[in-house]
Amino acid sequence: MSRTELDDNLIQRMAGGDGNAFGEFYDRTSAAVYGFALSILRNKEDAEDLMHDTYIRAYSGAVSYTPQGKPMAWLLTIVRNLCYNKLRAGTMSEDLADYEDPAGLDEFDATLDRIVLEKAMQILSFEERQIVMLHSLTGLKHREIAELLEIPLGTVVSKYNRSLKKIRRELEEEERGKEGSDHA
């Protein structure tokens, strides 16, 4: 089972009070929860706070979880709802801070991910950020993202592809700018 893959059994074990199951649940989902929250809230501290609230809600809600084979969608729905509540309440912090990976990727991957994430946060629309984060961090399929965000599958696929092109184009332009300044 991959790092972000979940099964209903893990949540059922969590509901039964299995502390190891909760630890495993957190380890497998923390990067995805944080990334998705950050894609909506655009603030490191707010995303971290919301992560805490998400896991409290997931732990307490595990007993009423109905197995449907989509535990990651269940968890990300909690994240999305908490984010929207926070946005509606207007309790956001002011500064957009740097991305930090709570899951501890190796240094090169973390640096590369941080660069791409920063570009995504700067140039993508709200919906585009969510789609890219959900696909990249959680491994959700486009169909699952469409269901979670309640938008058509075709929209998810086209926005995902356009978003990647935007990020790639922006990074290439920056690289060309650096090369030009190095030769000057």
Residue 1 pLDDT exceeds 50:
no
- Give tens-digit pLDDT for 88-131: 887 655 443 343 444 443 444 455 566 666 767 788 888 898 88
**Structural domain harbouring 63:** 1-95
Of 42, 75, 95, the residue that ends a domain is: 95
Per-residue tokens: 168: 């790639």
Mean pLDDT of 121-145: 84
pLDDT band at 52 (very low <50, low <70, confident <90, very high): very high
State the Cα torsion 69-75-78-80 to the nearest 10°: -100
| Residue 100, in any domain of the structure | no
The answer to whether the pTM exceeds 0.85 is no
What's the pLDDT at 104?
Answer: 41
DSSP state of 43: -
Q: Are residues 91 and 29 in the same domain?
A: yes
Number of domains the chain is built from? 2
Distance CA 100, CA 151 (A): 29
Share of the chain above pLDDT 70, in %: 79
CATH of the domain at 110: 1.10.10.10
CATH of the domain at 86: 1.10.1740.10
Q: Are residues 90 and 110 in the same domain?
A: no
Q: Are residues 31 and 72 in the same domain?
A: yes
Helical spans, DSSP H, in 18-152:
19-41, 44-61, 71-89, 107-123, 126-138, 142-149
Mean pLDDT of 162-172: 87
Q: Are residues 64 and 113 in the same domain?
A: no
Share of the chain above pLDDT 90, in %: 30
Residue 105 burial by CB count (10 A; 0-12/13-18/19+): exposed, middle or buried?
middle
Q: Are residues 55 and 78 in the same domain?
A: yes
Q: Are residues 78 and 109 in the same domain?
A: no
